[in-house]
């Protein structure tokens, strides 16, 4: 087996890596107010709701004199995100960390919880920069190569985006990567039982973020084989035993709601958790929910690969990784290939193939790119990093607080009070939006307006054309706060004929509404705006949806509109 080089970088290199981490963290913290604190990410809203449930539960338990052991392992659940009846299928670790830190700071209101959740996520995600630096050195990359690989990860679009969302994906990605750092050390000649314990503990923390941390099983098995070959069967079995015990103990501590038994070794799986998993699985397979229509309308594997390279890793890092993957792997590289295979199997082959689910793959791209980066002359290496910085800056610019829904809300201030504004559906976030944090800067909402819900995502009935035409007859303006309806539903015309006809008539002008506002940031690269409307919806809809306003014209006719929606005109 090829021995990994001893980790002993000179002090200037270590300081440069720390500076790179600080820069990555600063860029991420800059974007925590990406939506002007209007809470425009639905998964974030759910996370805050559940976190506030935990905050209240902990406060009540402490006021009753209950100790921390009783809260963690007692018969009455306290640290249970499902205790208030909310559906929850992620891990407890991010919730518990934010709950305890917010309680220690005395900042448990809604806005402070959102701010803290985003800020802590940025810190956790930024640590991936250091992890990539360490892995690149272990793979034999020169210090400048390791710094270049870390810099490319620091500017990866999906990494930058997810670092500003209080969701579990960034936590999962960082902890999976740190697990691989320790597994790589374990498989080297200096690997011993402390690394086995640390690898198991980190894997347990990753599992306490999201169940898809199960992808770590494959690299774990590869690590055992490598240790077995290097130090014999007894060492391999010891690694398995120590890793499993450490992982189980840490998972029990960091994810208490997964169990219904009392005490540290009460390992009976929670029926509520299993029921939630079953419910979500059924939901994903159901063609009824609007969130599933984007996948039913078609999203081929090549499109996922395209979006992964452009907006997951960024094209520079993505192409370097693809070239690196074509090279013959060394023993240690099999560890990362196993991790890649595990993550792709769990997140790129199912019904929902959202780019954010592939967050753990993004830093792995830098690992595969190391051999290629090592062969580049310094000028080409600097150019690759510069291009990666340029591309990633598009995400930084997206999170500058100029959210299209905020701009549209400000535009609505010119409308008189009582103006009849039609929103497409109650399922999607409508307009105007309300900035909720910090409390001293709460914005005065424009309006009030007469709100009309067109119900475009409602089940279509024979009378749908007449119903929608009657609602449009009452409206003075139409608001379109994202493309979640008009970009998806017309791709399923047999299922949504009325809505397909509606959008065709609207965009052609036959509906007699004139577009008076169109906000499309695209992907705002420095000096160039890339139209990314082709990319998957989850990449775009939260932080840069296309927002439109349409004004009714005098030529509008209710009877003709009904015929248009029925396909008779």
What count of residues does the chain have? 569
pLDDT at site 134: 95
pLDDT at site 176: 98
pLDDT at site 65: 86
**Looking at residue 84, what DSSP letter applies?**
T
pLDDT at site 1: 38
Q: What is the dihedral of CA 520, 522, 528, 534, to 10 degrees?
A: -130
State how far the Cα of 112 lies from the Cα of 101, in Å rounded to an integer.
11
Q: Which tens digit of pLDDT belongs to each residue from 197-250?
A: 999 999 999 999 999 999 999 999 999 999 998 888 888 899 999 999 999 999
Instruction: Show me where the domains of the chain are located.
Output: 11-20+128-272+297-398, 404-566
Place of tokens 């509008």: 556
Residue % of the chain over a pLDDT of 70: 97
3-state secondary structure 154-205: HCCHHHHHHCCCCCCHHHHHHHHHHHHHHHHHHCCCCCCHHHHHHHHHHHHH
Q: Which tens digit of pLDDT belongs to each residue from 496-547?
A: 999 999 999 999 999 999 999 999 999 999 999 999 999 999 999 999 999 9
Confidence band for 77, pLDDT divided at 50, 70 and 90: confident
Q: Full-prediction pTM beyond 0.75?
A: yes
Confidence band for 437, pLDDT divided at 50, 70 and 90: low
Mean pLDDT calculated for residue range 298-324: 96
**Mean pLDDT in the chain?**
93
Confidence band for 2, pLDDT divided at 50, 70 and 90: very low
**C-alpha distances in angstroms, 371 versus 41, 261, 343, 367, 368?**
38, 48, 22, 8, 7
Give the range among 102-111, 189-198, 350-359, 409-418 with minimum mean pLDDT.
189-198
Residue with the larger pLDDT of the pair 320 and 264: 320
Mean pLDDT calculated for residue range 123-141: 94
pLDDT higher than 90, residue 445: no
Q: Which tens digit of pLDDT belongs to each residue from 83-115?
A: 898 999 999 999 999 999 999 999 999 999 999
pLDDT higher than 90, residue 82: yes
pLDDT higher than 50, residue 150: yes
pLDDT at site 517: 98
b/e per residue 40-74 (b: at least 16 CB within 10 A)? bbebbebbbebbbbbbebbeebeeeeeeeeebbbb
pLDDT at site 4: 46
Nearest to 57 by CA among 33, 27, 86: 86
State how far the Cα of 207 lies from the Cα of 172, in Å rounded to an integer.
8
pLDDT at site 361: 97
pLDDT at site 7: 61
């Amino acid at each position: 087996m090829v021995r990994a080089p001893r980790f002993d970088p000179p002090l200037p290199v270590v300081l440069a890596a720390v500076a790179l981490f600080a820069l990555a963290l600063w860029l991420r913290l800059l974007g925590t107010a990406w939506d002007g604190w209007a809470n425009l990410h639905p998964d974030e809203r759910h996370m805050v709701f559940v976190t506030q449930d935990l905050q209240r539960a902990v406060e009540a338990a402490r006021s009753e004199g209950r100790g921390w052991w009783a809260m963690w392992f007692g018969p009455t659940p306290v640290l249970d995100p499902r205790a208030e009846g909310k559906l929850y299928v992620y891990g407890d670790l991010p919730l518990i960390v934010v709950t305890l830190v917010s309680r220690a700071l005395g900042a448990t209101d809604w806005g402070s919880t959102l701010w803290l959740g985003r800020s802590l996520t940025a810190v956790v995600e930024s640590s991936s920069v250091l992890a990539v630096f360490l892995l690149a050195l272990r793979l034999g990359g020169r210090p400048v190569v390791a710094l270049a690989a870390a810099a490319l990860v620091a500017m990866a679009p999906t990494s930058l985006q997810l670092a500003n969302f209080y969701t579990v994906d960034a936590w999962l990605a960082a902890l999976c990567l740190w697990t691989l750092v320790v597994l790589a050390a374990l498989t080297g000649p200096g690997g011993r039982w402390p690394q086995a314990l640390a690898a198991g503990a980190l894997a347990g923390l990753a599992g306490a973020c999201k169940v898809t941390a199960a992808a770590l099983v494959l690299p774990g098995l590869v690590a055992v084989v490598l240790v077995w070959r290097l130090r014999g069967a007894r060492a391999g079995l010891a690694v398995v035993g120590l890793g499993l015990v450490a992982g189980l103990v840490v998972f029990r501590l960091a994810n208490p709601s997964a169990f219904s038994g009392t005490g540290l070794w009460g390992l009976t799986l929670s029926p509520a958790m299993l029921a939630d998993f079953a419910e979500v699985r059924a939901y994903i397979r159901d063609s009824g929910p609007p969130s599933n229509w984007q996948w039913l309308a078609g999203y081929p594997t090549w499109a996922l690969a395209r979006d992964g390279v452009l907006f997951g890793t960024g094209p520079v890092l993505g192409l370097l990784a693809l070239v690196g993957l074509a090279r013959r792997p060394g023993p240690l590289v099999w560890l990362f290939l196993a991790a890649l295979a595990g993550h792709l199997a769990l997140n790129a082959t199912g019904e929902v193939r959202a780019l954010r689910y592939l967050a753990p793959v993004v830093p792995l791209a830098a690992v595969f790119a190391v051999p290629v980066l090592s062969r580049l002359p310094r000028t080409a290496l600097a150019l690759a990093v510069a291009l990666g910085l340029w591309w990633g800056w598009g995400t930084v610019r997206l999170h500058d607080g100029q959210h299209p829904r905020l701009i549209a809300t400000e535009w609505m201030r010119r409308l008189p009070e009582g103006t009849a504004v039609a929103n497409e559906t109650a399922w999607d976030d409508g307009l105007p939006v309300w900035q909720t944090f910090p409390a001293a800067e709460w914005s005065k909402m424009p309006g009030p307006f007469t709100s009309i819900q067109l119900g475009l995502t409602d089940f279509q009935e024979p009378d749908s054309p007449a119903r929608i035409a009657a609602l449009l007859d009452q409206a003075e303006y139409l608001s379109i706060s994202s493309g979640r309806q008009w970009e998806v539903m017309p791709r399923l015309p047999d299922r949504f004929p009325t809505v397909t006809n509606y959008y065709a008539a609207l965009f052609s002008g036959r509906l007699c509404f004139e577009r008076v506002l169109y906000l499309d940031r695209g992907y705002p690269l420095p000096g160039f705006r890339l139209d990314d409307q082709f990319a998957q919806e989850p990449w775009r809809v939260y932080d840069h949806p296309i927002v439109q306003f349409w004004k009714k014209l005098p030529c509008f006719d209710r009877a003709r509109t009904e015929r248009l929606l029925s396909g008779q005109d």
